[in-house]
Chain A
Amino acid sequence: MSELMTDREIDRSKMHVSDNVAIEITNMNKWYGSFHVLRDINLTVNEGERIVIAGPSGSGKSTLIRCINRLEEHQQGSIVVDGTELTSDLKNIDKIRSEVGMCFQHFNLFPHLTILENCTLAPIWVRKTPRKEAEETAMHFLEKVKIPEQADKYPGQLSGGQQQRVAIARSLCMRPRIMLFDEPTSALDPEMIKEVLDTMIELAEEGMTMLCVTHEMGFARQVANRVIFMDAGQIVEQNEPEEFFNNPKSDRTKLFLSQILGH
């Protein structure tokens, strides 16, 4: 909820949006039992886009991004990721999951494995990378998120912020083309939020396609090229950050912004 999160200048040289479509969601509907949780979602994400999804709790933000890597199944419409449509075909699902990285609110690190093992597991078993190479890649990304010295510790021995950075490194080890973030800073103390956001900004600076569910409006302003506001399972408004924050169109958006930015 903090307005400002980084004091440094953001390097926008590589942050450009390409014309290639990364994710194409058309007329997508999803129900939990008889509860209509996502309604007629249409969303196109181009490569290099940095999208922030905001909205009140229970509006379906998590469900939406979890549909993109099939952690949840949609019942109507289509989702195409990198040219592959998500159907019940397990091959497609595995392919998409290995190309789409995801970070969760509660990190979901594997507590019985060391940090290094957390990072090398999927490359070794899914990508069949030789162990040595996988370890080198893992160390590279752990250095990037600035915790190479923790490689041999277990997740339980790290702070929340460090754990979330490990989770980001773990996803990056699969060399994903798209990264999904589901409230990556919501479970963190204020001082740790910044270290995680800084890591995410660096990713954005390298041109990663990102979809972030977050309440960090400072991050949205500075990094996103598009902000999507969801309510009651629908996309209510989407716009460039400047416009979205300074000149919201719908009443729901105005109310939400006044609640989240006000006080």
Chain B
Amino acid sequence: MSDQAFVRTEMLPEKEPPASTVGIVGWLRENLFSGWFNSILTVVALGFIYYVLSGLVPWVFQSVWNADSLNECREIMTETWGSTHGHACWGVVNERWLQLLYGFYPDHLYWRVNLALVLTLVALAPVLFAEQSPRQLWYLTAAYPFLMPWLLWGGSIWGPIMVAAGFAIGYLGYRILVPVAGGLVAIIAAFALPIIWWLFLAGGVAGAIDSVIPIGIEAVESRKFGGFMLAVLLGIVAIGCSLPIGIVLALGRQSDLFIVKTLCVGFIEFIRGVPLITLLFVASLLLNLFLPPGTNFDIILRVMIMMTLFAAAYMAEVIRGGLAALPKGQYEGADSLGLNYWQAQRLIIMPQALKISIPGIVSTFIGIFKDTTLVSIIGLFDVIGLSNAIRADTAWNGIYWELFAFIAFLFFIVCFSMSRYSMYLERKLHTGH
């Protein structure tokens, strides 16, 4: 025993780590050349990257910007580099970029689209960066759902105001009925009153007021909408509406009420089981069979509804994953303090469930945004639809890569921003574990 006894008399001082593990050399060693297998992989990967870039970079940068047709492009290429191979013809983008962005929107009204975009960014600020934004911005955010469509479609100001009035009517009905008729009746009224208002009264009232006080801007028809602007518009609506609907569906799916639960599960499973294209065809063709003849149910509105429902079903499942990941103790903690169901959901459960689900939620956002290109199939001129139309022009017949590269670039900017924002948000919400 005694030869194993040991008492330390002096504590060891702290030492610098070995030089080979710090600095650039250390980083290279650790990350790229940590063993013979890793070193081979690194060399092969570098070779591959070089191969791709050596083709891509000249294609992008040794290119023709000023040309009115593909043939002119080719002539210039042959003159300058002796071959048409390996050089991009950005002339098409140069000539048609406004159309790719705005579709057939009247060009003297482009400012309205631009203003709507600025408005979107400003209205988003308090949502995305709550702490850094002034509180007054929330008023703008609240007005945004009515302002933005008015800017884009134009027409009388009274239309959007009457739509907004529907929400006020629902709220007032609820407040008035709660003390008189009880919670359930009031909730039903809060949904029923606005719907009655919108369906039967709002149009008439708006028309009446407009004939007395006509305030409005030039109207733009839905079929003029197109290009990247359409993708952004559909994306914003589907993303903005699918999150709240998804939350409600996810909660409904967890509900103890059998009917509510069954309805939510049925809805989610049905929508997820059907391709988006089918839903879009339903929106564009089949609905006409069911609607009374002569009803004018805007095609873009129909598509928006379908995309929102589609995204909401996926969102509900993503959020359900977040809910399932929360320990039961969180519900018990909230219950034991006397918080009611909605308080517990809003203050304790949802903030955490949504935080857990951020990666999934943002993936769904990105997915639905890219899926907006599917509307070209039902004849809307989004960017893909337009690129086909441009190719149908004899001047640009046969041009593919340049158009798709440009479209890809547009989508990449938006999707990459969303992805970066979600990483920022995750970091911001990280509170230890």
Q: Using a CB–CB distance below 8 Å, which chain A residues touch chain B?
A: 69-71, 90, 94-95, 97-98, 100-102, 104, 106-112, 121-122, 125-126, 154-157, 170-171, 174
Contact = CB atoms under 8 A, between A and B. Distances in A.
Given A106-B329, A112-B352, A122 B337 contact: yes
Contacts of A108: 327, 329-330, 332-333, 336
Interface of B: 327, 329-330, 332-340, 343, 347-348, 351-352, 355, 429, 431-433
Which of A70, A106, A109, A110 gathers most chain B CB within 10 Å? A110
A76 B6 CA distance: 65
A102 B429 contact: no
Contacts of B355: 112
Q: Which of A90, A112, A156 has the most CB of B within 10 A?
A: A112
A112 B351 contact: yes
Given A94-B340, A125-B347, A126-B337, A112 B429 contact: yes
A111 B333 contact: no
Contacts of B348: 110
Given A111-B433, A112-B351, A125 B335 contact: no
Nearest to A127: B338
A104 B351 CA distance: 22
23 contacts: A70-B335, A71-B332, A71-B336, A94-B340, A97-B335, A97-B336, A108-B329, A108-B330, A108-B332, A109-B333, A110-B352, A111-B352, A112-B355, A112-B429, A121-B339, A122-B337, A125-B339, A126-B337, A155-B431, A156-B432, A157-B431, A174-B337, A174-B338
B338 A126 contact: yes
B335 A71 contact: yes
Given A110-B348, A121-B347, A157-B432, A69 B336 contact: yes
Nearest to B354: A112
Contacts of A94: 338, 340
A101 B351 CA distance: 24
Contacts of A154: 431-432
A223 B168 CA distance: 59
A126 to B, nearest CB: 5
B68 to A, nearest CB: 58
Contacts of A106: 327, 329
B432 A97 contact: no
B330 A110 contact: yes
Contacts of B429: 112
A170 B339 CA distance: 13
Contacts of A126: 337-339, 343
B130 to A, nearest CB: 14
Contact of B432 (A70, A104, A107, A111): A111
Nearest to A170: B337
Contacts of A90: 340
A122 B338 contact: yes
B334 to A, nearest CB: 8
A221 B8 CA distance: 42
Contacts of A156: 431-433
Contacts of A125: 339, 343, 347
A103 to B, nearest CB: 9
A161 B429 CA distance: 24
A212 to B, nearest CB: 15
Contacts of B433: 111, 156
Given A108-B327, A121-B337, 16 more contacts: A71-B336, A97-B335, A97-B337, A97-B338, A102-B336, A104-B329, A104-B332, A106-B327, A111-B432, A122-B339, A125-B343, A126-B337, A126-B338, A126-B339, A157-B431, A174-B338
A189 to B, nearest CB: 18
Contacts of B340: 90, 94
A84 to B, nearest CB: 13
The winner among B333, B335, B337, B351 for most chain A CB atoms within 10 A is B337
Contacts of B329: 104, 106-108
A147 to B, nearest CB: 15
A159 to B, nearest CB: 12
A110 B333 CA distance: 8
Contacts of B332: 71, 104, 108
Nearest to A90: B340
B338 A98 contact: yes
B212 to A, nearest CB: 46
A69 B429 CA distance: 32
Contacts of B343: 125-126
A106 B329 CA distance: 8
A205 to B, nearest CB: 24
A101 B333 CA distance: 10
A238 to B, nearest CB: 25
B336 A112 contact: no
Contacts of A111: 352, 431-433
